[in-house]
Amino acid sequence: MEKTNHVVHDHYDAEGSKIGMWFFIFTELLLFGVLFVIYSVYRYMNSDAFHLAALELDTFIGAVNTIILLVSSMTIAMSTTALQKGNKPFTLLLSGITLLLGIVFLVNKYFEWGAKFDHGIYPGSAHLTETFSQGEILFFGLYFIMTGLHALHIIIGLVLISVTMWKINSGKVHAERAALLENSGLYWHLVDIIWIFLFPLFYLIT
């Protein structure tokens, strides 16, 4: 009786995974696009109130966080190039720097939100409804929703990069199988692009 050996092949579809990531990015852009439209409409209807509310935000922290994300976008791109060149240690170093910068961004956002909470500025607070106009309340509502949603995307990105680093270190992701790191980079660039729009809308435009 002849015995048949079955060989299990590890299927690797780099192009398919990239197409999937691009589709996901498109849906995320649609989500934030709708929020940006809502923000624009309410800002047009309450321009003076939005201007006054924006003065409550810390432009310096917003600018620092913008620089942090721009640098992190550069390091994740450099890590992809390093992996493609087969430089595993440098890939892990650059990915680790990206991870650290993302954490610093969240820490800054934590202190920024904490300062608002200490002053009674948060959705549903009595101080907010008693002190600010309806237009200003709308501003802060959109601020917490949009920056909070962005922070959630940062956390997801950090988890994704952490998993990617683990797989790079274990040898599962390498120069010939770099799609996971490339997709992680694409997702991180999305997070950066969204913030590049959020920063001027909330902190700079008066």
Query: DSSP letters of 52-69?
Result: HHHTTS-HHHHHHHHHHH
Q: Is residue 179 part of a domain?
A: yes
At residue 18, the pLDDT reads 78
Dihedral sign of CA atoms 87, 92, 93, 98 in order: positive
Mean pLDDT of the 124-128 span: 83
Residue 73 within a domain: yes
Domain of residue 149, residue span: 29-204
pLDDT digits (tens, 9 = 90+) for 132-181: 899 999 999 999 999 999 999 999 999 999 999 999 999 898 888 888 99
Specify the number of domains making up the chain: 1
Q: Is the pLDDT of residue 16 over 80?
A: no
CATH number of the domain to which 60 belongs: 1.20.120.80
Provide the pLDDT confidence category of residue 95 given band limits of 50, 70 and 90: very high
Residue 11 belongs to a domain: no
Average pLDDT, the chain: 89
The pTM assigned to this predicted structure is: 0.88
Residue 7 lies in a domain: no
In a domain, 110, yes or no: yes
> Which pLDDT band holds residue 1 (cuts at 50, 70, 90)?
very low
